[in-house]
């Protein structure tokens, strides 16, 4: 049985003879965070902050003492840290969350090791080679870790690799082609996350990770469509336009089905921005800027009111 929610208690309270004190007590017992919940949250927060500062400290240590360290010490220390933490994750019996955080820190240290190797031996590789190697070396850890934060880092590295490859090697790729590529790649990961969460409840991705990925997709789509509006239309623009339209339609459908206003909000805000670009493309006069300002105020007001009504309807 799924955990009772605030909305369930409110519905029962309206449709029964529960007193206000009983409703408040039930909310406090089943919904509101208690002392143990706050301690668990603080434990996770400080664990993440500690791991982040530790990795940052290691990186800054090498940056500050770069000229004074022998190349074997530079490589040996980093590789030793990667090996030591990996063995600790593998053999030490500790909290699974601690292991996942340590594995994420190790994945970042792999990138630092590759950077040090490139600087010591002056490999002359392009920046995309560095990020591509980083992606390949940590792929297995990402898959077996089932850690959303590490997946987010992994996807960010993939996006960086694609962008740098297009900038440094595939210079014949147009900006719209790169945006199409990034849009499809991130959309693939988002659909995968949602399907895994639906059909594999034990491997469910946290909501913040899917929301972050959906926001990134919306930003990429908005930028791509806006660029196409102000440039001469080409087949890639219409391809992106169709992809964005289908994705936004599916996003609205999923948001309504899952009772999640986040998807509705970001998609509607994206559409508002695209309409503003269309108006600005039609005319750049002072009158058009006034019209765009009124449109933004009116559309955002209507959107917020509509989303509040939808949310209120879902909670009834």
User: Three-class SS string for the chain?
Assistant: CCCCCHHHHHHHHHCCCCCHHHHHHHHHHHCCCCHHHHHHHHHHHHHHHHHHHHHHHHHHHHHHCHHHCCHHHHHHHHHHHHHHHHHHHHHCCCCHHHHHHHHHHHHHHHHHHHHHHHHHHCCCCCHHHHHHHHHHHHHHHHHHHCCHHHHHHHHHHHHHHHHHHHHHCCCCCCHHHHHHHHHHHHHHHHHHHHHHHHHCHHHCCCHHHHHHHHHHHHHHHHHHHHHHHHCCCCHHHHHHHHHHHHHHHHHHHHHHHCCCHHHHHHHHHHHHHHHHHHHHHHCCCHHHHHHHHHHHHHHHHHHHHHHHHHHHHHHC
Average pLDDT over residues 49-63: 79
What is residue 246's predicted lDDT score, i.e. its pLDDT?
Answer: 94
Evaluate whether residue 151 is within a structural domain: yes
What is residue 124's predicted lDDT score, i.e. its pLDDT?
Answer: 62
207 and 106 in a common domain = no
Name the token pair of 232: 């001469």
State how many domains the chain has. 2
What is residue 216's predicted lDDT score, i.e. its pLDDT?
Answer: 95
What is residue 49's predicted lDDT score, i.e. its pLDDT?
Answer: 84
241 and 299 in a common domain = yes
pLDDT band at 29 (very low <50, low <70, confident <90, very high): low
Domain enclosing residue 67, as ranges? 33-158
Whether residue 223 is predicted with pLDDT greater than 60 in this model: the reply is yes
Evaluate whether residue 244 is within a structural domain: yes
192 and 145 in a common domain = no
Using a 10 angstrom Cβ sphere, with 0-12 exposed, 13-18 middle and 19 or more buried, the burial of residue 78 is buried
Average pLDDT over residues 4-11: 59
Whether the Cβ atoms of residue 127 and residue 161 lie closer than 8 Å to each other: no
184 and 145 in a common domain = no
Chosen domain end from 112, 134, 158: 158
Name the token pair of 193: 């996350």
Q: Which of 22-26, 63-67, 82-86 has the highest mean pLDDT?
A: 82-86
**Between 129 and 9, the higher pLDDT residue:** 129
Whether residue 62 is predicted with pLDDT greater than 90 in this model: the reply is no
247 and 216 in a common domain = yes
* Distance separating alpha carbons of residues 196 and 249, to the nearest angstrom: 21
* Distance separating alpha carbons of residues 182 and 162, to the nearest angstrom: 8
Share of the chain above pLDDT 70, in %: 87
Evaluate whether residue 247 is within a structural domain: yes
Whether residue 31 is predicted with pLDDT greater than 70 in this model: the reply is no
Give the pLDDT confidence of 289-306 residue by residue, as tens digits. Answer: 888 899 999 999 999 999
Evaluate whether residue 184 is within a structural domain: yes
Share of the chain above pLDDT 90, in %: 31
Average pLDDT, the chain: 83
Evaluate whether residue 10 is within a structural domain: no
Give the pLDDT confidence of 162-192 residue by residue, as tens digits. Answer: 999 998 888 888 888 999 999 999 999 999 9
59 and 148 in a common domain = yes
* Distance separating alpha carbons of residues 137 and 110, to the nearest angstrom: 8
Give the pLDDT confidence of 109-120 residue by residue, as tens digits. Answer: 888 888 878 777
Rounded to the nearest 5°, which phi and psi values hold at 5? Answer: -110, 170
Whether residue 2 is predicted with pLDDT greater than 60 in this model: the reply is no
What is residue 267's predicted lDDT score, i.e. its pLDDT?
Answer: 95
Whether residue 1 is predicted with pLDDT greater than 50 in this model: the reply is no
Whether residue 8 is predicted with pLDDT greater than 80 in this model: the reply is no
Whether residue 28 is predicted with pLDDT greater than 90 in this model: the reply is no
Average pLDDT over residues 232-237: 81
Evaluate whether residue 27 is within a structural domain: no
What is residue 39's predicted lDDT score, i.e. its pLDDT?
Answer: 78
220 and 149 in a common domain = no
- 225-237: burial string, b at 16+ Cβ within 10 Å, e else: bbebbeeeeeebb
**206 Ramachandran zone, left/alpha/beta (phi>0; psi -120 to 50):** beta
* Distance separating alpha carbons of residues 223 and 225, to the nearest angstrom: 6
Average pLDDT over residues 273-295: 87
* Distance separating alpha carbons of residues 57 and 82, to the nearest angstrom: 15
Evaluate whether residue 235 is within a structural domain: yes
Chosen domain end from 158, 189, 215: 158
**Between 118 and 270, the higher pLDDT residue:** 270
**Between 237 and 44, the higher pLDDT residue:** 237
195 and 114 in a common domain = no
Chosen domain end from 90, 124, 158: 158
Query: Global pTM?
Result: 0.83
Say which residues have a Cβ less than 8 Å from residue 72's Cβ, sequence separation at least 6.
Answer: none
300 and 267 in a common domain = yes
182 and 117 in a common domain = no
178 and 299 in a common domain = yes
308 and 185 in a common domain = yes
Evaluate whether residue 85 is within a structural domain: yes
């Amino acid at each position: 049985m799924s955990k009772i929610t605030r909305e369930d208690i409110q519905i029962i309270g309206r449709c029964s003879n529960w007193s206000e004190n009983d409703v408040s007590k039930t909310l406090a017992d089943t919904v509101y965070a208690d002392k143990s919940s706050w301690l668990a949250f603080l434990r996770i927060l400080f664990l993440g902050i500690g791991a982040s500062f530790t990795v940052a400290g290691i990186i800054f240590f090498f940056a500050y003492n770069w000229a004074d360290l022998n190349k074997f010490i530079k490589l040996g220390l980093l590789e030793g840290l990667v090996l030591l933490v990996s063995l600790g994750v593998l053999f030490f019996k500790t909290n699974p969350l601690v292991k996942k955080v340590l594995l994420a820190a190790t994945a970042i240290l792999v990138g630092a090791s590759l950077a040090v190797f490139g600087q010591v031996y002056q490999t002359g590789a392009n920046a995309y080679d560095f990020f591509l190697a980083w992606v390949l070396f940590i792929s297995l850890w990402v898959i077996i870790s089932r850690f959303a934060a590490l997946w987010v880092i992994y996807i960010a590295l993939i996006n960086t690799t694609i962008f740098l490859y297009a900038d440094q090697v595939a210079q014949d790729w147009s900006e719209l082609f790169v945006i199409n590529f990034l849009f499809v790649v991130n959309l693939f990961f988002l659909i995968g996350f949602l399907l895994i969460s639906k059909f594999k409840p034990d491997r469910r991705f946290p909501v913040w990770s899917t929301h972050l990925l959906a926001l990134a997709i919306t930003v990429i789509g908005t930028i791509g469509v806006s660029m196409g509006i102000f440039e001469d239309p080409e087949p890639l623009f219409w391809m992106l336009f169709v992809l964005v339209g289908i994705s936004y339609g599916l996003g609205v459908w999923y948001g309504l089905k899952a009772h999640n206003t986040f998807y509705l909000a970001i998609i509607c805000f994206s559409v508002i921005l695209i309409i503003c670009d269309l108006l600005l493309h039609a005319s750049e006069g002072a009158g058009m800027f006034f019209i765009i300002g009124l449109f933004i105020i009116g559309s955002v007001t209507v959107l917020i009111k509509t989303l509040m009504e939808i949310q209120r309807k879902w909670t009834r």
